[in-house]
Chains A and B, each alone.
Chain A
Amino acid sequence: MLDIITMTVNGREQEVAYDVRESLADTLRNRLGLTSVKKGCEAGECGACTVLVDGRAVNSCVYLTAWCAGRSVLTVEGIKGPNGELSPIQQAFVEEAAVQCGFCTPGLIMTAVEIVGTGKRYSREELKKLISGHLCRCTGYENILNAMERIVEETWEKHGVS
């Protein structure tokens, strides 16, 4: 049965018709066309479906759309610049060759958005723990960590306090 909720998606408040049995990943992909959200394991383990809900990274495959009423959801489609340019986080992934097949990338980018949003400086060890909810079968994670380190440092140099 369809229901309607109001939620903010990538900065725009909108009404969304959805089935109450639907995961947020399905709603974002199938009803709103936001296909950056990948479905990998559908059991909350691989992190490919990671989006931000009210600024917090969640696995959208184990999250009900019904819970998003009045909340704000952010996907990779929502982080591009005003003229469609890559965000600094995406640029860091490009610079560090942190992308191979690309399936895990959108989820990792969203976790990076959450990490960078804290404005804190993290060690490589801390970053390893912070990306532990993502599986990447191509890169061996080294370049992903390089990209994470780069963007964390860049942000800290610009805005950091401690």
Chain B
Amino acid sequence: MYDIERFYRAKDVPDAVRALEADPDAMLISGGTDVLIQTREGKLAGCSLVSINQLPELTGIRIEEDGTIVIGGAATFSDITNNKALQSRIPILCWAVDQVGSPQIRNVGTIGGNVSNGVTSADSASSLFALNAVVELTGPDGVRRLPIADYYAGPGKTVRQHSEILTAIRIARADYENYGGHYIKYGKREAMEIATLGCAVCVKLTEDKRRVDDLRVAFGVAAPIPMRCHETESKAKGMALDADLLDAVSQGVLAEVKPRDSWRASRAFRLQLVSELSRRALSRAITFAGGEIHA
């Protein structure tokens, strides 16, 4: 038996918003793979829950007419990995969320929950940063949208207001079309693991496939919240696909990240991962974008 004080199963999004407004102590539960475990551990003992588990309007994945990808906040990791429309457009995200937990967790855990936990290690987060994803929040005052980089407020904190729900994640066509992307998760084992470090790279090449047209490098666990390396990205623009590019990126990112010592890994080890994983992820991303590294 879980130590749950109050439990309300919302009928739809407006109903959930109303229930949150009515109870200042209430928190949202979607897939529950974090909330229920924290309840069991006692951290959330006596909680009041408003459930949006598998609300049909939140589970859909669709492509809008202008090519914008819209992923419902309650879409599970499996939904995303197995979605054909996403596999052909943003394989990096399908791959990244396939690294979360275990198959059973991925059948239940949701992308909205992964992002809204506000943790830097979320496997979906760095790829969403590299895809310039936009978060859609629905609250008492309607819908607002903000870049995912503005969603994170600090470790375990987002700017989501008490009565707001992350209803969708949107990725514009210009942010994914012609990009190759790759995510590398480093952990001590290959399943049931929280990332020691995560690195996501998206790259667009010039038409002749010889130079970098646009680059986005994002990390998880390299700072208190997921982050991008904008300086390194802009320096790489226009560079040829050779060893100098890989060196410039894998060295450049070191000046931008702020990893810390924790019981899972030292700062020194994380810095080595930042450098090496960005080099490897960039190489793969270039291949996926149709280019070839001349190193």
Contacts and interface: CB of A to CB of B under 8 A. Distances in A.
Partners in one complex: yes
A59 B40 contact: no
Contacts, number: 82
Interface stretch (B31-39, B120-128, B204-212): B31-39
Given A47-B104, A58-B104, A132-B102, A67 B190 contact: no
A17 interface: no
A58 B3 CA distance: 21
A43 B102 contact: no
Contact size range, B: 20 to 34
Contacts of A8: none
A66 B9 contact: yes
Contact of A133 (B32, B36, B37, B102): B102
B4 A21 contact: yes
B101 A66 contact: no
Given A22-B1, A130-B103, A45 B192 contact: yes
A58 B77 CA distance: 13
Q: Is the interface of B mostly helix, strand, loop or mixed?
A: loop
Interface in A6-54: 19-23, 26, 42-45, 47, 50
A26 B1 contact: yes
A62 B9 contact: no
A44 B36 CA distance: 10
Interface residues of A, number: 28
B51 interface: yes
A127 to B, nearest CB: 11
B105 A44 contact: yes
B269 interface: no
A63 B54 CA distance: 12
Interface in A48-78: 50, 56-59, 62-64, 66-67
Contacts of A90: none
A133 B1 contact: no
Interface string B266-293: 0000000000000000000000000000
A64 B192 contact: no
B103 A67 contact: no
B101 A67 contact: no
B101 A56 contact: no
A133 B103 contact: yes
A-B pairs, 9 with minimum CB distance: A133-B102, A132-B191, A56-B107, A133-B104, A21-B4, A20-B7, A62-B36, A59-B104, A21-B2
Given A21-B3, A57-B104, A133-B192, 14 more contacts: A20-B4, A21-B7, A43-B40, A44-B104, A45-B192, A57-B107, A58-B104, A62-B32, A62-B37, A64-B36, A66-B51, A132-B102, A132-B192, A133-B101
Interface of A: 19-23, 26, 42-45, 47, 50, 56-59, 62-64, 66-67, 111, 129-134
5 contacts: A21-B3, A44-B101, A58-B107, A64-B7, A64-B53
